[in-house]
Amino acid sequence: MIAGIPKETREGENRVAISTEVVRMMVKAGFSIKITAGAGKMAGKSDQAFQEAGAEIVKDNQTTLSSADVVLMVNPPSIQEAEMIKEGAALLSYLYAYTQPELVEVLKNRKISAFAMDAVPRISRAQTMDALSSQANLAGYKAVILGADALGKIFPLLMTAAGSIKPSKVLIFGAGVAGLQAIATAKRLGAVVECTDVRPETKEQVESLGGKFLMVKDDAGVKTEGGYAKEVSVEYLQKQKELVAKHVAEADLVITTALVMGKKAPVLISSEMVQSMKPGSVIVDMAVESGGNCALSERGKTIIKEGVTIIGQENLPSLLAVNASELYARNIWALLSHLATSQSFKWEMEEDVTKGCLITHNGDLVHEFTRNILHAQS
């Protein structure tokens, strides 16, 4: 099979879906690799390096997409790109298909078998395929770095002849992969770190990294699926806001990571809470692409409201494109090698990983979760 890797066209995207290491693995396994010229430039990967690893460099995305039996991408293809993909080919990329009914229709009409990297099930044997986690890990690190850069004070306790400097206080909403990495990074930099999460089972993980866990005692209404929050009652969210309001007011840096699968991100920091914060403090809203956890954050912008800097930076992994591309390439190769040989796909339709992340196949929308959400919206 020919695997095609186009140049990402999303604005501000620096990642590429493959690395020279994975090119070598795929060539050894019997795949032919075609990569659009310049696809890896922003991720530190030259066309020459890809060629030396065994890939063929082609002139444009049209050529790459139309000739590939399986297309490997980071972001969902645009409608135009999806129409370029050879009919009956396979696609592996982030899709978030439940938010893109028009793209789903194109994929169905072209009989493209689309596997969503964002839908890989959270089971132990699929950990090497879990791109959401690998990218969130880097995003959690970068969020702390961005926050520290915008903050007008240092993180650690510092004792000098001129007097002592108190350590900064960092509050993190959400103890998923991104939140835990943010805790670890902030602690390494010397901050006092607190964390709150709707899942009480994360308390031990937070404390193992040196953070203080802020917990709502009544956990009624909290539902989780695969370790991720699925649904939280309005009452619970209100209790959580009341609990953390005082801690938000005292924090120098607040990082929010809370997402709910298939829904808009919950608003955890109200405009009143922003007003209560100290002038010069900082909020990094990592959920800004899904609607934002802060009521005042603006997607893709850094703004100052009530003397508080609110960072709504999109696509944090792209800011670490070298590492992000390397990890993503390993994830996508782990998934592809599970699903297929160099000759053909296995099409084990009831196997957990296949069933969990195959969105469209043979002209049909086969993914139950996506189908239910799109049906509810129509």
- Distance between CA atoms of 241 and 25, rounded to whole angstroms? 49
Closest to 260 in 3D by CA, of 183, 174, 202? 174
According to the 3-state scheme, what is the secondary structure of 281-314?
Answer: CEEEECCHHHCCCECCCCCCCEEEECCEEEECCC
Structure tokens at 2: 């020919």
Contact (Cβ atoms closer than 8 angstroms) between residue 157 and residue 139 = no
Contact (Cβ atoms closer than 8 angstroms) between residue 353 and residue 345 = no
Catalytic one among 10, 24, 122, 188?
122
Q: In sequence order, which ranges of the chain are alpha helices (DSSP H)?
A: 20-28, 47-53, 61-67, 79-84, 101-109, 131-150, 177-188, 203-208, 234-250, 271-276, 321-339, 352-357, 368-377
- Whether 133 is a known active-site residue: answer yes
- Distance between CA atoms of 195 and 214, rounded to whole angstroms? 6
- Whether 141 is a known active-site residue: answer no
- Whether 80 is a known active-site residue: answer no
- CA distance to 251, 286, 314, 328, per residue, from 318 (Å): 27, 13, 9, 11
- CA distance to 86, 113, 198, per residue, from 70 (Å): 9, 9, 39
Beta partners for residue 77, in sequence order: none
According to DSSP, the β-strands at 169-173 and 163-165 are: unpaired
Catalytic one among 118, 130, 197, 285?
130
Structure tokens at 49: 């390096």
Catalytic one among 60, 188, 228, 371?
228
- Distance between CA atoms of 122 and 132, rounded to whole angstroms? 10
Catalytic one among 32, 51, 66, 133?
133
- Whether 228 is a known active-site residue: answer yes
Angle between helices 131-150 and 177-188 (to 10 degrees): 40
- Whether 125 is a known active-site residue: answer no
Residues 281-304 as b/e (b if ≥16 CB within 10 A, e otherwise) read: bbbbbbbbbbbbbbbbbeeeeeee
Structure tokens at 95: 């899709």
- Distance between CA atoms of 171 and 174, rounded to whole angstroms? 10
Catalytic one among 46, 78, 80, 127?
127
Active site residues: 122, 127, 130, 133, 228
